[in-house]
């Protein structure tokens, strides 16, 4: 069963490493005219780092393409993803030379595993980058899969709506507790159904919807 890590000092120090890497990656992407805006979900009130035996903790970020038309000009989606991966690799090589840090592709972006803080090199963690763009109609927060639990997804008018929901939940003690409980539930459910490391953002988004629907149902759009 997944549980929250109570060592706040460890989590904060690892998050600093993650935050530094994301800034370096953004700067490198900008050199290729790939402008991005970085978002994190539920990492301001407290760092929701979870672990389970055999599954390290980590942090997830939404890497929003702010000028998708420019980023995709003359590039297919796969080509753009390859460029982003190369830029991430460049930063990793600079910051973690000769270490066992690995970049893995996911359905919605990339996962960087075996990261560590220099003060606690024995503790490994990961970062998930979820790459999204506004399609002119709706902002897809999760990639939809038809057969497994990671079918859990949501579609909203824009990213600001998600941030608005998160702000409501974070500032209501009962809703925040519900969110944290549902997040652990979905992590376990995802692992049980998919037999692989849970998608943190998928589980976090569904937990957010669960808490929002429970406490603000009357505010949902018809």
For 2-44, what is each residue's pLDDT tens digit?
Answer: 999 988 899 999 998 898 899 999 999 999 888 988 888 887 7
Q: Is a pLDDT exceeding 90 seen at residue 179? A: yes
What would the mean pLDDT of 115-124 be, rounded to a whole number? 87
219 neighbors 56 (Cβ within 8 angstroms): no
Query: Helix, strand, coil: what percent of the chain each, to 5?
Result: 45, 25, 30
* CA angle, residues 200, 61, 104, in degrees to nearest 5: 70
Structural domains in the chain plus CATH codes: 3-219 (3.30.460)
Give the relative orientation of helices 200-215 and 173-194 as an angle to the nearest 10 degrees.
Answer: 140
Strand, coil or helix: 3: strand
**What length is written for the chain?**
222
Report how far residue 53's alpha carbon sits from residue 2's, in angstroms, rounded to the nearest whole number.
Answer: 8
């Amino acid at each position: 069963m997944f549980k929250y890590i109570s060592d706040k000092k460890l989590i904060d120090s690892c998050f600093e490493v993650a935050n530094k890497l994301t800034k370096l990656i953004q700067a490198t992407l900008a050199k290729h005219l790939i402008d991005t805006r970085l978002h994190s979900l539920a990492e301001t009130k407290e760092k929701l780092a979870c672990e389970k035996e055999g599954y390290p903790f980590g942090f997830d970020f939404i890497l929003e393409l702010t000028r998708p038309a420019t980023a995709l000009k003359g590039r297919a989606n796969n080509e753009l993803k390859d460029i982003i991966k190369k830029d991430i690799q460049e930063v990793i090589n600079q910051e973690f030379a000769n270490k066992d840090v690995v970049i893995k592709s996911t359905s919605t972006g990339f996962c960087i595993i075996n990261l560590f803080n220099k003060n606690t090199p024995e503790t490994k963690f990961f970062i998930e980058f979820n790459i999204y763009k506004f399609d002119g109609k709706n902002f897809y927060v999760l990639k939809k899969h038809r057969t497994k639990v990671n079918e859990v997804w949501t579609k909203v008018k824009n990213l600001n709506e998600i941030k608005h929901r998160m702000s409501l939940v974070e500032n209501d003690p009962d809703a925040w507790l519900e969110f944290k409980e549902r997040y652990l539930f979905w992590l376990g459910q995802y692992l049980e159904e998919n037999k692989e490391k849970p998608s943190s953002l998928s589980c976090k988004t569904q937990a957010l919807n669960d808490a929002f629907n429970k406490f603000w149902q009357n505010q949902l759009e018809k």
